[in-house]
Amino acid sequence: MYLHIALEPLISLIAGILILVIPRLLNYIVAIYLIVMGVLGMVHGG
């Protein structure tokens, strides 16, 4: 049995919840999100 979960929506959901709970982390969460999306884009696009 193979369960496929898209990473981008899952990461976005987690980041959104963390921002709501701890607004001070906004800059760090956005930076980490952008880095992860960039790496995933290079891996899947290349």
Ordered by start, the domain boundaries in the chain are: 7-45
Q: Are 15 and 29 in contact, with CB atoms under 8 Å apart?
A: yes
Question: In angstroms, rounded to a whole number, what is the distance separating the alpha carbons of residues 45 and 43?
Answer: 6
pLDDT in the model for residue 21: 92
DSSP H helices, 1-46, are: 7-21, 26-45
3-state secondary structure of 30: helix
pLDDT in the model for residue 5: 66
pLDDT level of residue 44 (50, 70, 90 thresholds): confident
pLDDT tens per residue, range 11-38 = 888 888 988 998 898 898 889 888 888 8
Q: The pTM is what?
A: 0.61
Q: In this structure, what is the dihedral angle of CA atoms 13, 17, 20, 21, given to the nearest 10 degrees?
A: -170
